[in-house]
Structure 1
Amino acid sequence: MKRFVLFLLFVLPFATSAQEKFTVYFDSNKHELTKKQSDLLNAWITSNKESKVVAINGFADEVGTNSYNDSLSQRRVNFIHGIILKNKVKIREDFKTRSFGETFNQSKIKAENRKVVIHYILPKDLARENEILGIKPEIAGIVNDDAIIPIEEEDMHFPENATLMEKIELSKPGTRIVLKDVLFYQNTFAIVPTSRRAIDELLMVLDRYPKMRIEIQGHICCVHTDRSNLSLERAKQVRRVLQSNSIPSNRIKVKGFGVSHPKYPIPEATPEQAAANRRVEIMILSK
């Protein structure tokens, strides 16, 4: 199973060894702790009232379906998060959670994969919090995104059947590229499961180009007005998925165009034209 996380928060990459971690383990198919593990967690809480939690990551073993393990690992994260909140341990304002399901098994011993890992910073290191998390201050005015001139994908004349990675390699700032297989349930911003491969491909591109910034642009079809701002909400949902897979928010902007930039006139003459209008694109802001 490839990495793909469908929930709303994201986790930042952790930059230095000053970030600590604490792990608790679960019985098979359980999202609550045994008494022994609960005692260990309570002892950690007692010792870390002044520490700050920056992320909670959940894992599961390979027993069961992928979707079940994704759900189970998220329930484990939620359970631990609830205990931490109840005990008023400090949590970073942009606190992150991440659920790996069985995706990142690192041990052949299944019991070692049924876990939740709490990432935190000790009180003595809090003055260096942003440095530890790899967060650099943004310098205003360095990049003027509004000055970028959009370039339609058709005008780039990419090779036939070029992959997203290949298109990115040939692109420059302003290039728009359609994410062809990112699809949504009708009249919602919920991404359908078949979009997983396309999202994974985009994640690979963003990993390959760590300095690249993009704008996710949403478009809808078949109506004359985007009354519910659905195009923007769909763009935001794609951003949430990227953020939940460790892509920092300062690399991703979003915009909803409604039906103002159709590929074909509205009303569309064919289902194929409607599908072409109903799309998500990325525009490269910088590489």
Structure 2
Amino acid sequence: MKQLFFIAFSLLFGNNISAQEKFEIFFDFNASIPNQVSLTYFEKWMQNNKNAEILELHGHCDSVDTQKYNLILSQKRINEVLQILKNNAIQINEGLQKIPYGKNFKQSKIQAENRKVVVFYRNLNVDSEDKSKANVWANRSPLLFDDPLIPLREKIARVKKGDRIRLEGINFHFNTFRVVKESEPSLDELVEVLNDNPNLKIEIQGHMCCNENTRELQLSIQRSRFIYRYLVLKGIEKKRISYKGFGTSKPIFTIPEKNEEERAKNRRVEIEIMEN
């Protein structure tokens, strides 16, 4: 418990920087409401961070119970923290990501440290050097979650119209619109999900990395169209699917990216839920 006090204290007063920051809110066993210690520090944090904007909420559980149960509990914890933030008039980014984890994260040996919600935020008093980064966040579309360890079927079971989900495991041959053979299981998983959810309609959205010319859309259009045609060949009705390419106009990370990890995050395929 003393360790949790120290973590909360250090995060509480380390809030006057403009880059993306985070702090953690802890929960008692099997509880969806923050424990009293965390609530106290959470309230003080909100008082001292009126100019904060919330970017992501990651929910976690300890290792007890099943993956399915823990995912639900993690989501409840996220929802509770989000409601507290809204009640205190803390600004929520329109592209807020809410990402629940079950057991699929690197857990601490101290179970109390695993029962938490991690809040990612930025201070809106950004200087000119950081404004371009802030604009990147403004471009982000609503995502249910993009944890690669959570099966697409579980994500689809919880979506609503307007949600966007990153398709994991979709890779293309360099500078072409052809997917590598290793990507076919991910595409077939999408076919299965569409077959199992006959009311589901989606738009396939292609995104690129690296190119600072945001008007160059052709390759991203070709790649999303390739997936569209793959689904049609597998028997999915055309009226249920559409496609669009955004090039580099909606990056997750500022272009030019700093490393391959950022390039990989920008170079992605997402689906938007058009009807469910």
Q: Please classify the TM superposition score into its range, dividing by the shorter chain length.
A: 0.5 to 0.7
For residue 41 of structure 1, report the CA deviation from its aligned partner: 1.0
Partner of 2:55: 54
Contact in 1 for aligned 2:52/2:91 (Cα 8 Å): yes
Cα distance change on mapping 1:50 and 1:181 into 2, 3 Å: closer
Give the CA deviation at 1:42.
0.9
**How far apart are 1:39 and its partner, in Å?**
1.4
Matches within 5 A, 1:50-89: 50-89=51-90
The Cα RMSD (Å) is 4.3
Determine the C-alpha separation between the residues in 2 that align with 1:29 and 1:137: 35
* Structure 2: gaps of 5 or more residues: 1-16, 140-167, 211-218, 245-251, 253-261
If asked which structure has higher relative contact order (CA below 8 Å, sep 6+), I would say 1
Q: In 1, are the aligned partners of 2:51 and 2:125 still within 8 Å (CA)?
A: no
Alignment CA distance shift 1:65-1:232 (3 Å): farther
Decide whether aligned partners of structure 1 residues 37 and 96 sit closer, same or farther in structure 2, where only a CA change above 3 A counts. same
Could you tell me how far apart the structure 1 residues matched to 2:79 and 2:73 are? 10
User: Of 179, 189, 194, which aligns to 2:200?
Assistant: 189
State whether structure 2 residue 243 is matched by structure 1 residue 230.
no
CA 1:58 to 1:126, structure 2 compared with 1: closer, same or farther past 3 Å?
farther
- Residue 30 of structure 1 deviates from its aligned partner by 1.0
Partners of 1:19 and 1:132 within 8 A in 2? no
> In the aligned structure 2, how far is the partner of 1:135 from the partner of 1:72?
31
Structure 1 contact 130–136 (Cα < 8 Å) conserved:
no
Q: Cα distance 1:49–1:102, how it changes in 2: closer, same or farther (>3 A)?
A: same
Greater radius of gyration (CA) = 1
Distance 1:100 1:129, change over 3 A: farther
Q: Is the 8 A contact 2:19 2:130 kept in 1?
A: no
Structure 1: where are the runs of 5+ without partners? 1-15, 139-163, 192-205, 236-242, 257-287
**Inter-CA distance 253–190: structure 2 relative to 1 (3 Å threshold):** closer
- Which amino acid counterpart does residue 102 of structure 1 have in structure 2? K
- Asked if 1 retains the 8 angstrom alpha-carbon contact of 2:18 and 2:124, the reply is no
Separation of aligned partners in 2, 1:102 and 1:253: 24
In 1, the alpha carbon distance for the partners of 2:61 and 2:201 equals 24
Q: Output aligned runs, 1:174-253, within 5 Å.
A: 174-175=177-178, 178=184, 179-182=187-190, 183-184=192-193, 185-189=196-200, 214-215=223-224, 216-217=227-228, 218-219=231-232, 229-232=239-242, 251-252=268-269
Residues matched between the structures, number: 186
CA distance in 1, matches of 2:272, 2:22: 37
**Aligned residue number for residue 216 of structure 2:** none
Q: Distance in 2 between matches of 1:137 and 1:74?
A: 24
One-letter code aligned to 1:181:
E
Q: Per the alignment, do residues 172 and 52 of structure 1 end up closer, same or farther by CA in structure 2, a change over 3 Å counting?
A: closer
Cα distance in 1 for partners of 2:57, 2:129 equals 20
